Structure 1
């Protein structure tokens, strides 16, 4: 490791691409809370630079290589958490944005941190009891193929001056998780929960990641990135829903306890209706493509991460669900106890 790389390893300045989104935003907050200096890019920013919520926002676009390189100067880490919203325009935007990140990381000697997904894996990998970091990547979808290519380019870059950390996880949920299956398929944001739609086929398990836990895990690994090889991959275990009902049942418990009333009903997600509507709603069409992930168990092997960190952040499921529902506007925050100041009796 040369002198420049040693300096970058000690740097606690990070550029977060996608900081206005769910994953990037949470990673930016966790980095900030851990004492990092955080930068972010935002298109259309009225000022060239703006301080907000402990983050320095710079006017720029992840699709512009010069903007990314300028923002990355002096950064030890570039968090690449930028994705086109609603699953749309992946083929057009995803790889060019990644190429800009790679070029900047190589130029400044930074570590690229990528929040990964299970899209890389096809049915053959899902057939394993646990999906390891080195499981075969034979995806059956367009987005999966793009994810595989992203990791291929990152691995190549790790031999050309960049360093890479990939932290893969299951489906996200959390109070500010952005586009995700929990908020878009299981409950209706902004409304009280009367029913919960379950995407999994009956009895099929699924892996979920509570986003604040995932972000804290990424920050913990980045703090020790000097101990990693140039290309490192980990799986984040999160919450294992063994039969596809555990998350829904947690919603039932939380809502029932908080409201004191009947628990919401559990019902199967109407995939047939999504299929009918998909020709007219592009996001539904893209979601329909990922249905195979709900027809086979998807369980991540998190032992490598646990061995490295010793303790992986893990919020109890009911607590994570309660915070998520509050953040989605589906559940009122619990009333704070009223405290009354002591008053001395008058003489």
Structure 2
């Protein structure tokens, strides 16, 4: 496709963190963007909102007519009903993409991998997760790989834990700091002395858009790892201290003992406890393939990324200006 031809993308999950940032990045790169939503959304330049449900195949097919790309960023918030929702939604996306001959873009996670692949994980690492969510992620990618041989090319970009000005449900805004209030302390979820992969969503979305600018070089089934910010225990907290101007801001370890103890009674704690292993071992995404492909991978300096994230979460005195850092912060899962 030449740069003069119209490129149309459907974003499923545009009201969420990565979906919203992906929509913004695609618009910057000249795409016309549609977004599937269950509820009416405020007008936003560059996006055509289409009413429908990602769980309804006919809705997805209707929204996808004439598109060259479907961004599958649908993700049930708080891990709720993953087993019943995640696979039917990806099946609906695959069916629509096959009809249109559209590429599917999936923001991937590290859930696919067990401890045997740590600490440095590349795109070819074996996928043998022991968690329920990890097994669902592996099955998603298996179905996508099959679809890529049936007329629907696939691009998967895996990344670490999300943070950003409009990241929605994420560890940064729900554990590291408290959303909607001035920062009084910082919590570090990982074990001391370990590196952990964090993905700043505007950088991740820009990376995806740049990859799509070179779609002619992509294989039918292509996977990249996005390295992001590799932070040891205390580095995220140190950045928050610098950004807030509070060098003595208390830094605490995450109360995993409490999460584990309450996990049988509190569903969300049970879901968190299942993924605890990701914070107890060093986790680094090997992004050499991405570096070789793009040459220049976007990476916002950590303090700038943290400042934008805190403003977006309402944790700094000055709110995030309209349009800065990506899409507006609204509920995940549209």
TM-score by length of 2: 0.92
Residue number in structure 2 paired with 1:197:
187
Quote the Cα distance in structure 2 between the aligned partners of 1:335 and 1:160: 43
* Matching residue within 104, 108, 111 for 2:103: 111
1:275-301 Cα distance to aligned partner (Å, 9 max, x none) = 233334322221111100011101001
Residue number in structure 1 paired with 2:243:
254
Residue number in structure 2 paired with 1:233:
223
* Matching residue within 31, 34, 42 for 1:36: 31
Quote the Cα distance in structure 2 between the aligned partners of 1:324 and 1:233: 27
* Matching residue within 272, 277, 284 for 2:269: 284
1:186-235 Cα distance to aligned partner (Å, 9 max, x none) = 11001111111111111111000000000000011011112111000000
1:94-115 Cα distance to aligned partner (Å, 9 max, x none) = 0000000000001000000000
Higher relative contact order (CA 8 A, sep 6+): 2
Report deviation, 1:31: 1.1
Gaps of 5+ in 1: 1-5, 337-347
Residue number in structure 1 paired with 2:150:
160
Quote the Cα distance in structure 2 between the aligned partners of 1:146 and 1:9: 39
Residue number in structure 2 paired with 1:300:
285
Residue number in structure 2 paired with 1:135:
125
Maintained 8 Å contact 2:308/2:320: no
* Matching residue within 6, 9, 13 for 2:8: 13
**Cα gap change, 1:69/1:9 in structure 2, threshold over 3 Å: closer, same or farther?**
farther
Q: Report the structure number with the largest CA radius of gyration.
A: 1
Maintained 8 Å contact 2:145/2:221: yes
State whether structure 2 residue 40 is matched by structure 1 residue 45: yes
* Matching residue within 49, 54, 61 for 1:62: 54
Maintained 8 Å contact 2:157/2:225: yes
State whether structure 2 residue 174 is matched by structure 1 residue 184: yes
SS at match of 2:121: coil
Residue number in structure 2 paired with 1:75:
67
After superposition, the CA RMSD in angstroms is: 2.0
Maintained 8 Å contact 2:311/2:320: no
After TM superposition, the structure 1 = structure 2 runs for residues 300-339 of structure 1, keeping only pairs within 5 Å, are 300-333=285-318
Residue number in structure 2 paired with 1:273:
258
Report deviation, 1:10: 5.5
1:123-169 Cα distance to aligned partner (Å, 9 max, x none) = 0011x4x2100101111100000000000000010001100000000
1:243-274 Cα distance to aligned partner (Å, 9 max, x none) = 22211111111111xxxx54311110011122
Quote the Cα distance in structure 1 between the aligned partners of 2:203 and 2:287: 13
* Matching residue within 204, 208, 222 for 1:218: 208
Q: How many residues align?
A: 321
SS at match of 1:38: strand
**Cα gap change, 1:154/1:247 in structure 2, threshold over 3 Å: closer, same or farther?**
same
State whether structure 2 residue 203 is matched by structure 1 residue 208: no
Maintained 8 Å contact 2:176/2:186: yes
* Matching residue within 3, 19, 24 for 1:24: 19
Residue number in structure 2 paired with 1:102:
94
